[in-house]
Structures are given as structure tokens and as C-alpha cells.
Amino acid sequence: MLKFDFAHTKLKERRHILPFQLQVNRAHSKIINRTGEGSDFLGWVDLPVNYDKTEINRMLDKVNDLKQKQVEILLVIGIGGSFLSSKSGIDFVKGYSYTEDKVLFTGTDLSSDHIKIVEEKLKGKKWAIAVISKSGITLEPALAFRHFKNLLQQVQPENTNEYIIAITDAEKGALKELSNSEGYTTFTIPNDIGGRFSGLTPVGLFPMAFAGIDIIKVMDGAAKARDKYLNDSSLKTNDAFRYAVARHFYGLKRWSYHPDRATPSGNNPMHWTLKGSKKYYEEVFVTWTPDLIQTSEWVKQLIGESLSKKGRGILPTSATFTRDLHSLGQTFQEGYKSFFETVIWVEKERNEITITDDLKNIDGLNYLIKNKFSDTNIMTYKAVTASHFSGGTPVMTILLDDKTEETLGYFWYFFFITTAMSGYLLKVNPFDQPGVEVYKKKMFKNFKRELNGNEKNN
């Protein structure tokens, strides 16, 4: 379902990966014994095998209810961890056009023009709202919810609240309070699962179920990944931990002496370095199908919020090929090498389309006829990977079999556990996000200052 390789890097298993075994064992024990920092947020670890089946059935019943009411569009309102999993999951399994017309997303920004575009898309359609917020007071979704709740009231004045689903905390928070008083159908975000790890909770599952995705299969895929990665700490066999170590080596660990020193000193892995290698400051997630652009966004949040702390971590960024080869190809090949690449490659597309014959053949491409578009994608992927490596960029690859539900669940769990491992290797708490609060405090202070100023001026 998923394979990881670092063939296009200078990493050598015995020299650069296996020496981390002891550190990995320690971090692994923190995950399974729940003794590491942030262990209150390890609810995702066993979720694929102990999830609440009644909650899943309630979600499926609500989806059926909406379908019976002929609801055509689900408007999901949420931001960050409260929308990235469902949006990326739907694009992955159903194709990205699905989230352009059948499951729409808002509450992700403060742009009036975006609100207007969503309104236009809803015009003349029957729609419902899934508002997703653990706290219920996050600015962007809270403002969007006010707006679209009022609009829904106008277009659906009868039983409006039957068309509103709230996904929020079990007991507390503004949205929970409102749901209780309005009688919305609610689904729970477990207390021990943070936003970016919540794809396998109603946060990710409800919108995906509305999109017709088999959410049980998503859970099955995650359970398979759990079987594979949770109880095996061996760096010879556990791809999630091999990936964590490879990226730790390249970008995350703090070099303990001059990075260009070629010789390993002693057995301390912190003193090992690649000949001519250096620290990398960015990890570029490269995908090769537009259906996975949102997957990169999801990975970026998971990696960024989990690991960028105490001045550590790397900047997770992304590119989609072949599109970006025509804008960033030069940078990737010959630019300053501050980054390594992690390709997320899918072997099998949902559709196969054959390249057609052209009588005039003015573009000279008739030699490709009868091949599939995906054949050219594979050949290009291999050529680009080799070129970037020869240009000095390490390229790691995560190979996925296909874009099915099971693979999605497997992939998500792989990323959850590799991220937890990365955090503990880096000696940060992978499950908090204290930095996110800093701008919010300033923003609210600024609101008060500017609005008071305006009052005085009026």
C-alpha cells in the first residue's frame, strides 16, 4: 500500500539510518507507553481499532437523511486541522473537482470575495452546513458560520437547524453550547486528538461520508498501517521510522559539529554526517497529480505545527509537478540547495487516457501514441527525480499504490506516526502549537485598538 525509499539520496542505511536505532527505540517507547511530552494527545494511536461504531453509524444516518432531503451541496466551515483532512481526503479519493462543487469549504480566510464566490455556487441549490470547530471561537469559521447560518435561514426557513451539523468538543466551547440550545446534530472531536491528527474522527470522516467515500475502508486502511508501524521499532523494517530518521538526518537534527566534516566520529549518530552534506532548511513535498495538491497542504500543517518549535524544525513547503517544473524547474535544478524533496507518488490513477494520433504530427509527438498519459507521467517522474538528484538535491519517495480509501487511511496513519517519531527525535512536543496563539493575541488586541480608534473618528 505504501513504500518509502531514499534511493536518490546519498544516505546509506548502515551509516546514516541504523545508528539512530537507540534513539528511535526510546521515542517509540514514548509513543506506545504514552510517556512523552504531549502524551494526552495520543488518541489517534489506537483510534483505527477502537473507534466508536455507533458514532460512525450516526454519521452515515445523517448523510442519508441529508440525501433524502435532496441536499446537493455540503458547505464545510472550518480552518486548519478542522478542514485540511476532509478536503485533502475527498480530493484524494474522489478527485479535486468534487470539492469545487459538491462539498464546498469556507471559513478558511477573511475574504469577502471568497464568501461571495461560495454564495454564488450555492445559489439555486439545496445545501447544508457542517461547521467544524473544537473551540467554536476561531475567528474565520465563526464569522463564516454567522454569515451562512443566516443565509440558510433565508433559503431554508423551515426546519433550518436540521440542515446544520456541528462537529465540536463533547462538552465545552461556544459551538457546543450553541448546538445544545439550537438542537443541531453534533458529532464529537475527541479530547485526546489535536486538530491536525483528527482526520479519522468526524472532522475528516463526516464530509468524506457525504462525498460518498467509504469511511469504514479509510479506517481499515489506517488499522493496517497501525499493525505495520506501531509495534515494530526496527529501522530495518519500519518505513515510517526510516523516513523520520532520514528527514531528521537531513533537516531536523541540530548538527553538533561542522556539517562539512566528512568522517564519522565515534558511534554517536549526532556526529555522523554525509560527505559534503549540509543541513537543509526546507522539505519540499512534491506531488504529481492535482488530486494531491491538498494532500501537500495537509502534510505541511502536520509537519509544520508539530515540529517547528524552539527554533527547530524545517519549513515544509510543496510543489506539484509537472505544472511547477515550468515555473520552479530552474530553481529545483540549479538554485541554492537549501532543500530536500519528498515525493508523494501514486502508482495507479483512477482513469487511464490514451494519447491520440495526430495526422499532421507538427509537434512531433506521434511516437507517444497508444501510450497513456500516466505512462508519460511515470517516465517524467523518473527523469526529474534523477535530474534533481544529479543537481545535488536529495530526493526521497513515498510510493502509494493508488488513490483508494484504504490507501488514504494507511497514508494518514503513516504520517501521524512518522511525525510523532520526528518530534520525539527532535526533542519537541509534537502535539502542541503554542506559536499559533501569538499572532491571535496581537490580532485581537489590534481589532480593539483600531475599532476604538474608528469610534473616536466617527
Query: Could you say which residues in the range 431-450 bind ligand PA5, by CB under 6 A?
Result: 433
For residues 224 and 413, give the distance between their C-alpha atoms in angstroms, rounded to a whole number. 9
Dihedral (CA of 385, 388, 390, 396) sign? negative
CA–CA gap between residue 84 and residue 66 (Å, rounded): 23
Q: What is d(CA 418, CA 412) in angstroms, rounded to the nearest whole number? A: 10
Interface residue with ligand PA5 among 19, 38, 190, 195 (CB under 6 A) is 195
Residues 302-321 that bind ligand PA5 (CB under 6 A): 305
- Tell me which amino acid residue 179 is: S
Residue type, 318: S
48 versus 199: smaller Cβ distance to ligand PA5: 199
Stretch of 2-10, 190-198, 259-267, 395-403 contacting ligand PA5, by CB under 6 A: 190-198
Residue 141 binds to ligand PA5 (criterion: CB under 6 A):
yes
- Residues recorded for the chain: 458
Q: Is 81 in the site for ligand PA5 (CB under 6 A)?
A: yes
The CB-of-41 to ligand PA5 minimum distance in angstroms stands at: 10
Kind and range of the H or E run holding 319? strand 315-320
- Output 32 or 170, the one with its CB closest to ligand PA5: 170
347 is catalytic: no
Would you say 81 or 430 has its CB closer to ligand PA5?
81
The footprint of ligand PA5 on residues 393-422 (CB under 6 A) is none
Smallest separation (angstroms) from ligand PA5 to the CB of 125? 26
Nearest to 432 by CA among 196, 263, 211, 204: 196
List the strands of the sheet with 164-168, edge to edge. 103-106, 73-77, 127-132, 164-168, 185-188
> Considering only CA atoms, which of 163, 135, 6 is closest in space to residue 79?
135
Of the ranges 12-20, 75-83, 285-293, 412-420, which one interacts with ligand PA5 (CB under 6 A)? 75-83
Query: Can you tell me the distance from the alpha carbon of 397 to that of 239, in angstroms, rounded to the nearest whole number?
Result: 11
Out of 37, 39, 58, 80, point to the residue binding ligand PA5 (CB under 6 A).
80
Stretch of 67-75, 193-201, 287-295, 449-457 contacting ligand PA5, by CB under 6 A: 193-201
What separation in angstroms does the CA of 59 have from each of 159, 207, 241, 378? Answer: 19, 9, 34, 38
Q: Which of 116, 440, 442, 445 is catalytic?
A: 440
Binding site for ligand PA5 (CB under 6 A): 79-82, 133-135, 138, 141, 194-196, 305, 433
